[in-house]
Structure 1
Amino acid sequence: MSDGLQEDLGEAAGALGAKAPGIVPDTGKYEQQLSRGLTFKENILITLSAVTPASSVFIIVPAIINGIGGASALAFLIGALVGVFVALCYAELSSAFPITGGEYAFVARTLGKPWGFGLFLLNLVSGVLIIGVIASGAGQYLGVLSEALGGGWVGIVVILVTTVIACLGIKTNAWVTGVFLVLEIGALVVLTVVGFLHVSQPISTLWTVATSGPGGVLVSASAGLVVSYTATALFAFNGYGAAVYYAEETKNARSTIGRAILWSLLIAVVAEIVPTIAVLLGSKDLAALVASPSPMTQFLTERAGPVVNTLVSVGIAVAVINAVLAIILQFGRTLFSSARDRSWPDAINRPLGRIHPTLRTPVVATIIVGVIAALCLWLVPFSVLLVATSAGIVILYALVGLAAFVGRLNHTTDAAEYRMPLWPVAPILMTLATLVILVMSLIADWVPVAVAVGIFGIGLLYYALYLRGKPDRWTLPLPADEELEDEVRG
C-alpha cells in the first residue's frame, strides 16, 4: 500500500469514467446518484432505528441475563467501553470515505481490495440474515394482542411490507423511522420507571456472575463468561456505524458523519443499559428472572400487570418493525454500492446499480435484500440464522480497527475532517479487545466463528478468481463532490 493509493485509485477510476456507470468522467469520483437530502438529525433517526435499542433490550438482553444473571450490566458496560473505541475509528474512517458502501468501502481503500471484498460478503450475508432474526420477534410481541398475530408468518409479512416502504424517498423513511423510534423509546421509559420504582436487589447484583442451576436456583458462574457475553452486548449496540451508509444522502457528510456516529452510540448505550439495570435491580425474584425464557415480559407482568405488559409489547413490536425497515435501507444501499463498484457480472450490476429517477433510491437492490431476507426467515431454521450472524460483528470490528490504524500510516485517511483524539490508542485497544472477545467466543462455541471466517474466506476467493487483475472492476472511485450536489437534494 503506497502513500498515494487513494489518488492512484481515483486516477484509475477517472480513466474509466467515460464508460463506467456511476462515475463522473475524468474526475475519478462517484456520481451523485442518491438524493442528498438528509440533515444530521435525520441521519441519526435512521441510524438509531438500525441500532433498535428496544429490540435489543427485549430480544438480545434476555439471552445475556439467562447466561450471566446480574453481571449482564457489567457485560454491557464493557461492551460500551469497547464501543467508544469502535465509534472513534468509525467516525474518522467515515469522514475520510463518506461512501454508502460502509465498512467495505474504507477497509478496501486502507487495507487492500481483497480484505474489503471479504468483509463486504461477510457483512452482506450477516445483514440479510439479521433482518430475519429481528423480524422473527414481531410475532412474539404482536401475539399479545391476538393469537392470530403470533405466528411465524408475521415476521415474513413485516419484511415484505417494510421492503416496500424502504423503496420510498430517504426523507420519507427518516420520518417514518423517527416516529417509530419515539414509540420504542417510550416503551423503554416505561420499563425503566417500573424497575426503579420497585428496587429489590442489592447493587452488587450488577457485577455478580450467576446462572440458573438445577431447580431454578442461582449458581455462580465463571467470570470469563462476562467477556464471552460482551460479544453479544456489542451486537446489541451494533448499528451506530450505519450512519455512513447514508453518507451520500446526508448534507455536509464529511464534517457531520463522525458526530452522527458518536451521538448514535451514546444514545444507544444510555437507552439500553439504564433499562437493563432497572430490571435487574427491580426484579422481585432474581433467580426466576434468570431462569425465565422471557425475562422482560415476566418482569413487566409481575411488577406492572398484564395491561402494561401488553402496551409495552406493542411498543416492542413497533421497534422490531422499525429495525427491519432501517436495516433493509442499510443493506439495500450496500448491495447497490457493490454493483456500482462492478463486483458482479454486468448483467447483475446493471439492475442492482440502478437508481429510481423519481425516488432516488436503489429500488431493485432494496427489493432483492428484502425478498432474500424473507425467504431466509421462511426456509432457514432460526438456530442457523443465529449461528451465521453472531460472530461476524467481531471480525468486522477488528478490521475497522486495523483500517483506522493503517489508514493514517499510509495516508489514505488524510481527507478526513474528523480526527479521533489520542490516536493510535483507540484502534490498538479496539483491535486487541475484539481479538480477546474472538478467542473467548471460540472457546465458548467455535461454530459461529468458523461460519463467519468461512464466509469471509469465500469473499477472498471470489475476489481472487473474478475481480483481481480486471482493470474495469473495483476501481474504487473517490467520494462525490458535496459542493456540487445542491441540485439533486430532494
Structure 2
Amino acid sequence: MTQTSLGQRLLRKKPIDTYVSDSATPDDGHSLGRSITLFQLTMFGVGATIGTGIFFVLSEQVPVAGPAVLFSFLIAGIAAGLTALCYAEMSSMIPVSGSSYSYAYATLGEGVAFLVAACLIMEYGISAAAVSVGWSEYLHNLIWNVTGLELPRALLSAPLVAEGYALHFGGDGLINLPAACLVFLCCLLLTRGSRESARANAIMVCVKLGVLAMFIIIALTAFNSDNMTPFAPNGFTGVSMAAGSIFFTFIGLDAVSTAGDEVENPRRNLPLAIGLALVIVAGFYILVAFAALGAQAQADFEGQEAGLATILQNITGSRWPAIVLAAGAVISVLSVTLVVLYGQTRILFAMSRDGMLPPVFSKVNPHTMTPTVNTFVVACCVAAIAAFLPSDVLWDLTSMGTLVAFTVVSIGVIVLRYTRPDAPRGFKVPLFPLLPILSIIMCLYLISSLSLIVFKITAIWAIIAGTFYFVYSARHSRLEKRGDA
C-alpha cells in the first residue's frame, strides 16, 4: 500500500455517500436507532438554547440599549438565523451525528474536521459544566424560597479560584455537589435510551415555555406605554452593543444537528427542526422582553437580580412568582445540560466511528441503542469540571468553540455548492452566496471580540488535540485503512 503523506492525511475527505451508508447500515454494534420525532428534535433545539440567559439578560442589556433592546433581540435572532440556515442545508445533505465535525470532514478535510471536533468537545463539555454550576445556584435559591433552609456553602461551590491566568485553592467550598449530581442524573437518563431522553427533554421544555408564557401574560396586564420612552437613549450604538451580547443567548440551535443518526426522516426533519426552534426561541425572547419593558421603568432594570421574578412580585404583591420562576430556571438548566451532554456524546460517537477515537466511544448498548461507555466517560469528566472549577473560568471558553463551528459550517455550504452542486439537498440557503458569507463575517467579528486568555487556552487545547491526532487518529482513521487520500 502506498505511504500516505501528511498533507494527504490532513486534506482527505470522507465521501458524503459513505456518511449516509454508515448511518443507515448496522455495523457490529456501532449504529444508533432512529426514534426521535420532529417535535422532540425541535424541543432539543429549544431546550439547548433557552437556558438561564433570558432570566437575567434584560437586567444587563436594558441599561445599554433601553427599550430598543427589542431590536437587539431581533438583530441577534437574524444573525443566529444566518448560521441556522447554513446548518439546515448541511444537515439535509449529511443527515448524520457529529454536527459540524462531520460537515467539515466531508468538505474541508480530516485536519480541519479534527480541529473543529476539538472545539466542539471544548464547547459542549465546558458549557455543560458551566450550566451545571448555574443550576446549583438556582436549586439552592428554590430550596430557600420554599423552605427557608440554607444548604452548606462547602457543598455549593468549587475549592479552586481564578486569579489572572492561574488557578489555585482558596474558594469558599469543598465541592459543588449539586452540579456534579446533575451531570450524573442526566447521564443516567441518556443511557436509558434516546427516545426516553427526548421525551423527558420535551416535557421540561414545555414546562419552561409555560413559565415564560405565564410571565408574559401577567406582565402584559401591567403594561404602561410610558415605560417605552425614551425608546433608544443610547442610539444605534447601544442597540448594536446589546445585540452582540444577546447573540450568545441563541447558542444551542446547533445541538439539533448532533442527532442526525437517531432522527426519523432526517433529510426533512433536521432542517425543519432547526428553523422551528429558531422561530420559537426568537418569538419567546422578544415577547418576554416586550412584556417586561412595558411592566417596569427602564431605570429599574440596572443591577436588578432575578429581574423577571421581581417584576411579577411587584405586579402581584406576592412571593409565589419568585418560586415559580426559580422552579422554571431549575427545569430550564436541567434540560440544557441534558441536551448538551447528549450532543457531546454523539460527536465523540461520530469521531470514533471514523477511527479518530478508540472504538469504545462508538460501542452501542444493544438493549438501549445508546453509547453507554461513551456517556459515562463524558459524565465523569464534565462532573469533575463542574465540581471543582469556578464558573467564571468556564463561561468564557464556550464562545470560541461555538463560533469556530459556526464559521466552518458556513464555509462548508459554499464549498459543497460548487463541488457537489447536484447532491440531494432537503433545504437550500436562499440568496447564495450572500447569506453564508454574511454568517462567516459575523462569526469572525464575534471571535475577534473574545479576550486574549480565551485565545491562549484555545491554542493550548489545539496543541493537545493536534498531538493526539498525529499520534493516534491519523493512523487509525478509516480513510487511512481504506487508502483514501
Match of 2:473 among 440, 461, 467: 467
1:369 aligns with 2:378: yes
1:447 aligns with 2:453: yes
1:94 aligns with 2:95: no
Alpha-carbon deviations, 1:195-232, whole Å to 9, x = none?
Answer: 322234543555444xxxxxxxxxxxx95565454343
Alpha-carbon deviations, 1:219-263, whole Å to 9, x = none?
Answer: xxx955654543432221122222221121111111221111111
Change (3 A) 1:22 1:171: closer
Match of 2:273 among 234, 238, 260: 260
TM-score between the two structures when normalised by the length of structure 1: 0.81
1:181 aligns with 2:205: yes
CA distance in structure 1 between the aligned counterparts of 2:89 and 2:105, rounded to whole angstroms: 15
SS of equivalent to 2:301:
helix
**Amino acid in structure 2 at the alignment position of 1:382:** S
Which residues in structure 2 correspond to 1:49-198 (within 5 Å)?
A: 49-51=47-49, 53=50, 55-60=52-57, 62-65=59-62, 68=65, 70-142=67-139, 143-146=141-144, 147-148=149-150, 151=156, 152-198=176-222
Measured after TM superposition, the shift of residue 165 of structure 1 is 0.7
Contact preservation (8 Å) 2:407, 2:443: yes
CA distance in structure 2 between the aligned counterparts of 1:74 and 1:87, rounded to whole angstroms: 19
CA distance in structure 2 between the aligned counterparts of 1:236 and 1:269, rounded to whole angstroms: 10
Contact preservation (8 Å) 1:6, 1:412: no
**Amino acid in structure 2 at the alignment position of 1:359:** T
Match of 1:428 among 423, 426, 437: 437
Which residues in structure 2 correspond to 1:31-46 (within 5 Å)?
A: 33-46=31-44
Match of 1:342 among 344, 355, 362: 355
CA distance in structure 2 between the aligned counterparts of 1:290 and 1:319, rounded to whole angstroms: 24
CA distance in structure 2 between the aligned counterparts of 1:59 and 1:382, rounded to whole angstroms: 16
Match of 1:216 in 2: none
Shifted more, 169-178 versus 389-398: the winner is 389-398
1:250 aligns with 2:256: no
Contact preservation (8 Å) 2:52, 2:333: yes
Change (3 A) 1:232 1:127: farther
Which residues in structure 2 correspond to 1:386-401 (within 5 Å)?
A: 386-401=395-410
CA distance in structure 2 between the aligned counterparts of 1:389 and 1:316, rounded to whole angstroms: 20
Contact preservation (8 Å) 1:206, 1:280: no
CA distance in structure 1 between the aligned counterparts of 2:393 and 2:242, rounded to whole angstroms: 19
Change (3 A) 1:408 1:381: same
CA distance in structure 1 between the aligned counterparts of 2:452 and 2:238, rounded to whole angstroms: 15
CA distance in structure 1 between the aligned counterparts of 2:245 and 2:458, rounded to whole angstroms: 15
SS of equivalent to 1:419:
coil
1:382 aligns with 2:391: yes
1:295 aligns with 2:301: no
Q: Structure 1 unaligned segments of length 5 or more: list them.
A: 210-221, 478-490
Contact preservation (8 Å) 2:356, 2:473: yes
Measured after TM superposition, the shift of residue 71 of structure 1 is 4.7
Contact preservation (8 Å) 2:107, 2:412: yes
Measured after TM superposition, the shift of residue 446 of structure 1 is 3.5
Contact preservation (8 Å) 2:258, 2:347: yes
Change (3 A) 1:5 1:125: closer
Contact preservation (8 Å) 1:227, 1:437: no
Measured after TM superposition, the shift of residue 475 of structure 1 is 7.6
Match of 1:323 among 325, 336, 343: 336
CA distance in structure 2 between the aligned counterparts of 1:302 and 1:413, rounded to whole angstroms: 59
**Amino acid in structure 2 at the alignment position of 1:46:** F
CA distance in structure 2 between the aligned counterparts of 1:79 and 1:455, rounded to whole angstroms: 29
Contact preservation (8 Å) 1:336, 1:362: yes
Contact preservation (8 Å) 2:14, 2:479: no
Change (3 A) 1:132 1:32: closer
Contact preservation (8 Å) 2:129, 2:386: yes
**Amino acid in structure 2 at the alignment position of 1:298:** T
Report how many aligned residue pairs link the two structures: 446
CA distance in structure 2 between the aligned counterparts of 1:204 and 1:425, rounded to whole angstroms: 36
Q: Structure 2 unaligned segments of length 5 or more: list them.
A: 1-6, 157-175
Q: CA RMSD of the aligned region, Å?
A: 3.3
CA distance in structure 1 between the aligned counterparts of 2:481 and 2:73, rounded to whole angstroms: 40
Contact preservation (8 Å) 1:54, 1:272: no
Contact preservation (8 Å) 2:70, 2:289: yes
CA distance in structure 2 between the aligned counterparts of 1:163 and 1:74, rounded to whole angstroms: 38
1:203 aligns with 2:228: yes
**Amino acid in structure 1 at the alignment position of 2:271:** G
Match of 2:251 among 238, 244, 250: 238
TM-score between the two structures when normalised by the length of structure 2: 0.82
CA distance in structure 2 between the aligned counterparts of 1:225 and 1:448, rounded to whole angstroms: 25
CA distance in structure 2 between the aligned counterparts of 1:427 and 1:326, rounded to whole angstroms: 26
SS of equivalent to 1:343:
coil
Contact preservation (8 Å) 1:46, 1:177: yes
Change (3 A) 1:5 1:343: closer
Measured after TM superposition, the shift of residue 275 of structure 1 is 0.5
1:306 aligns with 2:319: yes
